[in-house]
Structure 1
Amino acid sequence: MTLKLISSALIIFAAFMSIKHGWQGLTMKPGATGPEAELFGKWNLSPTTLKVISLLTLLSGILILMPQTFVAGNILNAALIFFLMVMFFYIGELKAALIEIPFLLIPLVLIYLKYPLG
């Protein structure tokens, strides 16, 4: 029972964060200011690439909510977080990369715990 509650809470958190960040990325205007816009500018990724990453992030959050696509959503989420970590290392942001470690562990723990209502 306790593991189901933990799993449910982690699912809600992971899905919310993925959907939130995916939506923010999709609605970010070119030339926007703020911490996320500044960070994406350092990565030198094209606006199209950023939109694709945002769409994938949004998709992973939706997939996590459904039992049939739960594992796929978590794998996609983990891959995207790993990509973020690599990009942080690439631009020399060690602290930011290390901050992502707990967020990388969440989808892996969710896969281990399995979908709680299945």
Structure 2
Amino acid sequence: MKIISGILIAITVFLNAKHAWSALTMSMKPEETKMLSDIGLSQGFVFPIGIVSLAICLLVLFPQTYFAGNLLNAVTILLIMAMALNTNNIKTALIEIPFY
């Protein structure tokens, strides 16, 4: 069971680190940039999202802050889903469901 938990934590950290790095270096794929603009997020909002993703990476790694990191991750995903639904972009909201 510990092996499975370790693998899931590693996947979470990898995905958040990848998103954080692309947001902080502004090297996002055109599809990601289009998705963010479709739900009403400007380029100026990408950097703070990158910082939050980086914080999630660090929080998930330590047992004392594991719950807080996952809670912050869930809030971020729900925020993206809510903004997508607010702009009637159902496809983007549905894409985020597996990550929740």
Fold match (TM-score > 0.5): yes
Tell me by how many angstroms 1:62 deviates: 1.6
What residue in structure 2 maps to residue 69 of structure 1? 65
What residue in structure 2 maps to residue 84 of structure 1? 80
Identity over aligned pairs, percent: 39
Residue among 7, 26, 31 paired with 2:5: 7
Q: Distance in 1 between matches of 2:29 and 2:60?
A: 30
Q: Distance in 2 between matches of 1:103 and 1:28?
A: 22
Unmatched tracts of structure 2, length 5 or more: none
What residue in structure 1 maps to residue 36 of structure 2? 40
Q: Distance in 1 between matches of 2:30 and 2:50?
A: 17
Runs ≥4 in structure 1, deviation > 3 angstroms? none
Tell me by how many angstroms 1:15 deviates: 0.8
Structure with more contact order per residue of length (Cα contacts < 8 Å, sep ≥ 6): 1
Computed over aligned residues only, the root mean square deviation of the Cα atoms, in angstroms, reads 1.8
Q: TM-score, normalised by structure 1?
A: 0.74
Report the structure number with the largest CA radius of gyration.
1
The one-character-per-residue Cα deviations of 1:73-112 (angstroms, maximum 9, x if unpaired) are 11111111111111221222212212212211xxxxxxxx
What residue in structure 2 maps to residue 27 of structure 1? 25
Q: Give the paired residue count.
A: 100
